[in-house]
Structures are given as structure tokens and as C-alpha cells.
Amino acid sequence: MSEPAAPLQELEQLLADATGAIAQAQSAGQLEPLRVKFLGRKSRLAEIMKLIPRASPEERGEIGKRANQFKAAVESQLRERTVALAQRPTGPGIDVTLPGITTPQGRLHPITSTLGSILGLLTAMGFETIEGPELEYERYNFDALNIPRDHPSRESFDTFFVDTPSPEPKKGRLLLRSHTSPVQVRVMEQRKPPLRIVVPGKVYRPDPLDPSHSFMFHQVEGLMVDDRTSFADLKGVLDEFLRALFGANTKTRFRPHFFPFTEPSAEVDIACTSCSGVGCSTCGRKGWLEIMGCGMVHPNVFRAVGYDPERVQGFAFGMGVERIAMLKHGVTDIRLFFENDLRFLGQF
């Protein structure tokens, strides 16, 4: 009498098998063979149904009922799995809680962009950009700029001298240029006036590092030479330039100063960008910020390059790029520009 119980047990086992297989199917294409396997004409279900007429009358009803239940259960599981697979996002699973993949974005270094603004404004006024060597001869850095050997004015330009013997001893020792002014001399030696040039570049001075000093920094030099160039031209160009750089309401002040290569010479101040002239810690309570040096080219400089100081006039100016970048962006330590900390650089 164990035989009649067998179809019922088998149906139970078949349902467990079908439930597992349907749950694991990953596509509608995998469901169709399961339908054929569990419900089709050659399935175990079909064979069990065929046994019904031969079963005893009591068992007949039970097997028929269980077979129908099996069929309904498998059909409904197939339907549900079909819907679930259709709604599932395709491709690999997406974990929305994972942090996104960021692509780091490069940008210009604040010194590069400040230099770009300075050169952009001056070239728009007709100045041509020219570069010169960082390894320079004493003649260009000093002598031709009216800074003779043993003259006290040389002391204000502390300099890194280079050990390598000079390839041109007549031009003096080799050094790392301490300002961009030597390029004035190089250009005037090569060309005749009229000239309007701007010279960007690195300069070197043996200063101990502190918030406002670095042994390497950047300068922009300007030079204009023509048969008639006045201090008024100089003032007009620099006023215009500083207002374009720092804002249309920027106040400027020309204060008498001494530079060996210009006469007369001046330092140019702008009203403090932090306190507008009232006096604060940025301007040392003076209300003014020193921005650049300038003046009318000294006759001795013209003589050194073979120009006749009776027939040409010119003005020159020089500014520190780091200082301007610091004032524009409110940076209080020059060393930040050279440490390459991306948390700092990413702010510009």
C-alpha cells in the first residue's frame, strides 16, 4: 500500500525543485525550459496524471487535487518571476550607497593665472612678451643696469653666484638673476627703439623662507623706449594697468624712491585692498600697499646698450607676481604657492 502515497510525495518534492529552480532563473529565457520541464507534456506531472484512472477511488481525488494545486503553484511562481525579472535593472547590480567615482580636475596654478592676467592686460596695451635666461651674467644683472661692482646699491640685491667658470669672462661671473631687469639690457642691445616689452620670469635671492620671502619668486618687468616718453606716460600706463587688475576704483600713489637703473624712480602703492586706506594688518596700518617699482630709464643704462640718452627716453617698471597674487586672493603666506598642497591649489 506504499505505492499510492508515492505520487503525493513526489508532487511535494517536485514543487520544492520547481520553486528553487524558478527563483534562480536569471532571465525569461531560463524560465521557459522550466515550464516545459515541470508542466509540459513529458513532465513528471503529466505521468502522474496518467496514473489517476488506475488509482483507487479514495486516492484518485486526492492525487487529482494535489496535481492541480502543484500546477497552479508552479504557474503562479513562473508569472511572478517573469514580472520580477522584467522590473530588475539590467547590468551588474548597482550599490547606490557607494561613493561616486570622481575624476580629479586640473586647473591653473594661482601664480600662472595671475601672471596670465598681468601679461594679458599689458599685451593689450601693446607690450610684447619676451623671456630671458635665469642663469645670467653679472654684466646684465648689475653692471649695464648702472649697478657697478663695489657700489653699495649692489648689496640690496643679494645674489646666488654660480661656481661654473664664466664662458664669457668679459660679461663677468655667472649667477641666478636676482630680478628680471637684465632682460631690458639684452633686448636693447639687440634692437633699436621704439620698444614696448614685458618680461615675465623666475628670479632668485638667498633670502631665508618666511611668510613673505622665498629664495625663488616671479617678476614681471616692463620697458618702453621711444624718442619721447615721459613720466606722465609711465603714470598713465601703470594707473590704467592697476585699475584693470585690482578694480576700476583702485587708488594709486607714486612715492619717490631710489633704483640705480632709473632716474627719477618711484614706488607705486595702491590703497589697501583689505581696508581701502583706513589702516589694517594687511597694510601694516599704513593704508597703502607697495605694488611695484618704476622710473625713467637712467642715461647710463642707455649708454651701456649703445643708445644715445640725448635722443631716446624710456620708462621701466617691475613687480612681484606672488605679492600681487597674495593681495588679489587674500593669501598671507608665500610658501603656500610652492608647497603644492592640493587642498590649497584647489581653491583657485
**Contact residues: ligand DAH, CB under 6 A:** 179, 181, 221, 259, 262, 293-295, 316-318
Kindly state the smallest distance separating residue 311's Cβ from ligand DAH, in Å.
20
Which CB sits closer to ligand DAH, 43 or 252?
Answer: 252
Q: Which amino acid, one-letter code, is at 190?
A: Q
Kindly state the smallest distance separating residue 318's Cβ from ligand DAH, in Å.
2
Cell of 264: 627719477
Bridge partners of 57?
A: none
Answer for the pair 309, 263: CB distance below 8 angstroms, yes or no: no
Q: Which residues contact 99 (CB under 8 A, 6 or more apart)?
A: none
Answer for the pair 203, 180: CB distance below 8 angstroms, yes or no: yes
Kindly state the smallest distance separating residue 169's Cβ from ligand DAH, in Å.
25
Kindly state the smallest distance separating residue 301's Cβ from ligand DAH, in Å.
10
Question: What does the alpha-carbon distance between residue 91 and residue 290 come to, in Å, rounded to a whole number?
Answer: 63
Which CB sits closer to ligand DAH, 63 or 242?
Answer: 242
Kindly state the smallest distance separating residue 199's Cβ from ligand DAH, in Å.
9
Measured torsion, CA atoms of residues 8, 12, 13, 17, in degrees rounded to the nearest 10: 140
Question: What does the alpha-carbon distance between residue 281 and residue 266 come to, in Å, rounded to a whole number?
Answer: 24
For helices 5-24 and 28-39, angle between their N-to-C axes, nearest 10 degrees:
170
Kindly state the smallest distance separating residue 267's Cβ from ligand DAH, in Å.
8
Which CB sits closer to ligand DAH, 67 or 269?
Answer: 269
Which CB sits closer to ligand DAH, 81 or 323?
Answer: 323
Which CB sits closer to ligand DAH, 191 or 285?
Answer: 191
Which of 200, 235, 203, 227 lies closest to 127, judged by CA?
Answer: 200
Kindly state the smallest distance separating residue 283's Cβ from ligand DAH, in Å.
20
Kindly state the smallest distance separating residue 96's Cβ from ligand DAH, in Å.
58
CA 319 → CA 148, 292, 294, 300, distances in Å? 23, 5, 9, 22
Which CB sits closer to ligand DAH, 140 or 259?
Answer: 259
Q: Are strands 216-226 and 252-259 parallel, antiparallel or unpaired?
A: unpaired
Kindly state the smallest distance separating residue 317's Cβ from ligand DAH, in Å.
5
Which of 1, 138, 15, 118 lies closest to 66, judged by CA?
Answer: 15
Give the N- to C-terminal CA distance of the chain in Å, as an integer.
Answer: 89
Q: Verify cis geometry, omega within 30 degrees of 0, for the bond prior to 194.
A: yes
The dihedral sign for the CA sequence 239, 240, 244, 245 = negative
CA-angle at 141, arms to 288 and 175, nearest 5°: 115
Which CB sits closer to ligand DAH, 34 or 234?
Answer: 234
Which CB sits closer to ligand DAH, 258 or 344?
Answer: 258
Which CB sits closer to ligand DAH, 245 or 301?
Answer: 301
Answer for the pair 90, 193: CB distance below 8 angstroms, yes or no: no
